[in-house]
Amino acid sequence: MRGAKSAKWVVGAIVVAMAATACGGSDSKDSGGKGAVFRLGITEPKSIDPVNAQESEGTLVARQLFVGLYDVNVDGTLNAKLAESAKPNDAGDEWTFQIKKDTKFSNGEAVNAEAFIRGWTRVTAKASASDVAYHMNGIAGYKELNGGSSDKFSGLTAEGDYTLKVKLSAPDFEFDKKTAHPAFSPVPKVAGAGDNKSFNDAPIGNGPFKMSGSWEHNKKITLVRNDDYGLAKAKLDKVELSILNPANGVTLEYKGFESGQFDWARMPVPQMPGAKAKYDPQGQWLKADVSGVNYISPFNESGPMKSADARKAISYAIDRAEIAKGVFQGLQEPATALLPPSFKDVYKADVCTSCVKQDKGKAKEYAEKAGLKPGDTLDFGYNTGAGHEEWVQAVAKQVEDVLGLKVKLNGLPFKEALARQQDKGTIGIWRQAWTADYPTADNFFSPLLSTSGINPDANGKALGDNRGRYSNPKFDELLVKARQTKDAAERAKIYNEAEKLAIDEDQGVIPTWKRTQYRLVNSKKFSNIKLDFFEDPNLAEIGVK
């Protein structure tokens, strides 16, 4: 009798196991021969709906599904999409956009001025609690809508079907550039409120691609060409985005490219030299200087980095070229300005004099002026797990060797690192990086260096992106002046002046490396593969060989 019972257990266990494992067994694979399918790996986005699309993965998808007034070319210039014209008034606080007629969403709804107002209102509404709402904060009525005291965006009006009027709360002659962010996409009526789950997972847009099915969380997002797209149609039939886990995603992308599963891949930094040797000769290696910068943020308010001389001493002590060659194996290049070179109109190399070349003599001279003595302690913070350890140690070693300081490395997990950076009492230096949201110099200077970018709360915690708390009223004035300047060349000059002041004279932050990106691309099967301004593949323009 006992035997019979235990046999039942065994049989039961096997049945359970079969039931649990069998369901995935018959998955049919796409043959791949039917059309041009471009495959790549991403990590799970926070959102693919423009209402909250923010990090690179989410905006990559959102920008395939939606097209707004403008896109950005690789060189940072604006690329008009649905905007036929954009005119500011003389004061620069009111913009009139003419919208291209007769384009539609993939469900047939018209894309008109109302669709834009709907989209921008949806992002800003309080109930959406959107992380990207702040991109709208220059528009009149933002506070009321975001704060919940209104459900209309008072600054937005439609004049006729295809004219959008935008009233700003302060002059901004670069407002048109900001609308390149996916948050400024138009949405159809079916989008509903910001937390409309079915739309969030399968947005209906007006872009070069549309969703094929819903977002399969942690597994896959499939896009197919939108044949009703109102502008130049995509050549790819389908884009398959496999969702990889963040712990191992880059390695999987690289292995996936090697095994032929992906047509586009990032790679782990240590593998880069090997990958370059193998894939560069085959034309499958892509290098691009992108719109970001790596820098060190000194805490300007208190502690050893309080004086500009002290900050210059640190900057002169760093041998950027040596670290670029050694630690980064020549794959990164020193930055000598805060703006990246892709901001063609404004960029000037060598703005940061102390960044151009290591100068031990000058470093010591400035240290002495600042009262930095050998043996003094310098805290150097960074977030762990993101591959910064090696270069941070190299910088620390150089600073120790040149100035005799004791550099104390504080590696912290991201959440704790952020808390420490925001803390009022924090001193020393911190590693930072910044990537552009839109192609305006203001998008670097204002959050990173303006006094309003500190954005302290009641306890003095810096909630903004100006973590080093650099503040100079003259710099703030220059930014306001630039925003109010209509002429682009004139504006560029003011930005140059501002950058010179903050980065060279005051050394408010210490630029370290430009942001250079590398990708492996399947150029055997596809043509015209590029890295776009937002560091994503230019899916809508990729050709098929």
Binding site for other proteins (CB under 8 A): 2-3, 5-6, 9, 14, 16-17, 20-22, 24-25, 27, 41, 44, 46-47, 54-55, 126, 129-131, 133-134, 146-147, 195, 197, 217-220, 242, 244-249, 252, 255-256, 258-261, 385, 413-416, 418-420, 432-435, 447, 455, 457, 463-465
Name the minimum Å distance from CB 32 to other proteins: 13
Q: How far apart are CA 380 and CA 384, in angstroms?
A: 12
Specify the residue, 145 or 540, whose C-beta has the smaller distance to other proteins.
Answer: 145
Specify the residue, 372 or 479, whose C-beta has the smaller distance to other proteins.
Answer: 479
Distances (CA, A) of 391 to 295, 298, 320, 406, 492: 12, 17, 10, 17, 33
Q: Which residue has the tokens 């896959």?
A: 220
Specify the residue, 254 or 285, whose C-beta has the smaller distance to other proteins.
Answer: 254
Name the minimum Å distance from CB 246 to other proteins: 6
Specify the residue, 129 or 488, whose C-beta has the smaller distance to other proteins.
Answer: 129
Name the minimum Å distance from CB 335 to other proteins: 16
Structure tokens belonging to residue 94 = 């009111």
Structure tokens belonging to residue 418 = 């952020």
Distances (CA, A) of 454 to 43, 146, 443, 449, 505: 31, 21, 14, 8, 20
Name the minimum Å distance from CB 351 to other proteins: 23
Name the minimum Å distance from CB 528 to other proteins: 26
Distances (CA, A) of 142 to 155, 156, 212: 8, 10, 34
Name the minimum Å distance from CB 116 to other proteins: 22
Question: Where does residue 8 rank: exposed (0-12), middle (13-18), buried (19+ CB within 10 A)?
Answer: exposed
Pairing label, strands 238-244, 429-435: unpaired
Question: Where does residue 180 rank: exposed (0-12), middle (13-18), buried (19+ CB within 10 A)?
Answer: buried
Specify the residue, 135 or 519, whose C-beta has the smaller distance to other proteins.
Answer: 135
Specify the residue, 101 or 217, whose C-beta has the smaller distance to other proteins.
Answer: 217
Q: Please give the DSSP secondary-structure letter assigned to residue 234.
A: P
Name the minimum Å distance from CB 192 to other proteins: 15
Specify the residue, 25 or 108, whose C-beta has the smaller distance to other proteins.
Answer: 25
Cβ–Cβ < 8 Å for 424, 299: no
